[in-house]
Amino acid sequence: MAPPGIFVKHSGRLHQYTIATFTRIHVLILPFATKVEQVMVMSVRDVISSSRDAYSHSPRSDWVVKWAGQVVLCVSQIYWTLEVHEALSLASGNGLKDYLERENVSGIGNSEIV
């Protein structure tokens, strides 16, 4: 009886790869794939960090068009959370109303970008 494995048709021929073959490939590729993943995560963190710094130094309308969409979403949510927290923390009780008015004006500007 043949050992368990996977049959693959390639170039018109049927090949059988055993579990042992896949295990060897996995052992060889896993460290490489892990390193690639680590570098990708570091790269994404670096881009998000740079974008977060740029957010506070440039008009939002300029900032939005200079960064990738997913980065814009991520950094926008960071600042949205910070601003809502600050609005809720105001003792006057008008923080959310003021924030809403400011965001309504900002929303009009954002719709012009789109």
Question: Which pLDDT value is given to residue 1?
Answer: 45
Q: Between 69-89 and 95-113, two packed helices, what is the crossing angle to 10 degrees?
A: 160
Residue 100, pLDDT > 50, answer yes
Q: How far is CA 54 from the centre of its chain?
A: 17
More confident residue, 113 or 78: 78
* 75, 55 Cβ separation under 8 angstroms: yes
Kindly report the backbone phi and psi dihedral angles of residue 32, in degrees, each rounded to the nearest multiple of 5, phi listed first: -65, -45
Question: Which residue segment(s) compose the domain that 70 sits in?
Answer: 5-113
Q: What is the pLDDT of residue 97?
A: 79
Number of structural domains in the chain: 1
The pLDDT tens digits for 59-94 are 888 899 999 999 999 999 999 898 888 888 876 777
SS3 at position 90 = coil
In this predicted model, what pLDDT tens digit does every residue of 7-63 receive, in sequence order? 566 666 776 666 666 667 667 777 888 899 999 999 999 999 999 999 989 988 889
